[in-house]
Amino acid sequence: MSYSKPNTFATGDVVDAAKADENNEVLRRYINTSIASGDIAADTLAPEHLMKGTYNGLLNQYQMISGLVGGKNYLLAQRQSTGICHSPSGMGVPEDPTYVWLSNGGITFYLEEDADVLFQWYAQPYTTPLDGSKYRAARFYIAVDDNVFFTTRQKTWSEVKLPYKTRNYTSNFHMAKSMSAGYHTFALRCFTTETYSMFVAWGFTLEAFYNLPTSASDPPDVPDDPTDPSLPD
């Protein structure tokens, strides 16, 4: 339906601030989320009328009317590293591993609509050899909202001298279908049987594609002060 001002003021009326604010808020919501196809004259909508996206430089995420893109990259030239240690990830007990979160190993993001989301990551790992004579491994899995997807397993071997020294570049992806609107997390959970497994270069990206609405219902506003779903300990 077209815009209808909830409060009117006649000549000589005292303008109530709360009612004036309500008028502005209703107009803002109509312009941003509630214009129906019947409110627009035929052959008047052009690409230049579509709202430009909003870039968040702190998170390196770009929110657009059709979806969200974002990511983080950590490079050796920036003298950054991250990794996991044998304790508490489960050294010596591979049959009962403890999967731990990777520091600087994920993204928190907000979906304005239900969406299909593609997650991708890459890393250049270094897994130290425990005794130099046996191959041991580190394993990495994609987790979305604390749900680990074991089909996304990536493995990197320790760098022993015999029979040859190896260093495994690794990467993977996961597509989450019809994720609900709201806050979510994408991160890595890891396990190693070596002393430690360190990343010297790594990165993450996400691409969210909003599902087309089946009605003219208003999408929810982004909370002004949301509860940050920080990664579990």
pLDDT in the model for residue 206:
92
According to DSSP, the residues that pair with 173 across neighbouring strands are 120
pLDDT in the model for residue 179:
92
Q: Where do the domains of the chain lie?
A: 1-50, 56-210
pLDDT in the model for residue 18:
93
CATH class of 56-210: mainly beta
Residue 216: pLDDT band with limits 50, 70, 90: very low
CB 128 within 8 A of CB 196: yes
According to DSSP, the residues that pair with 139 across neighbouring strands are 155, 191
pLDDT in the model for residue 233:
36
Answer with the residue of higher pLDDT: 153 or 115: 115
Residue 191: pLDDT band with limits 50, 70, 90: confident
Is it the case that residue 87 has pLDDT exceeding 80?
A: no
- Region 82-88: mean pLDDT is 57
pLDDT in the model for residue 220:
53
41 Cβ partners below 8 Å, 6+ apart? Answer: none
pLDDT in the model for residue 198:
78
Cα–Cα dist 81/196, whole Å: 12
Average pLDDT value for the chain: 77
pLDDT above 90: percentage of residues in the chain: 21
- Region 132-149: mean pLDDT is 78
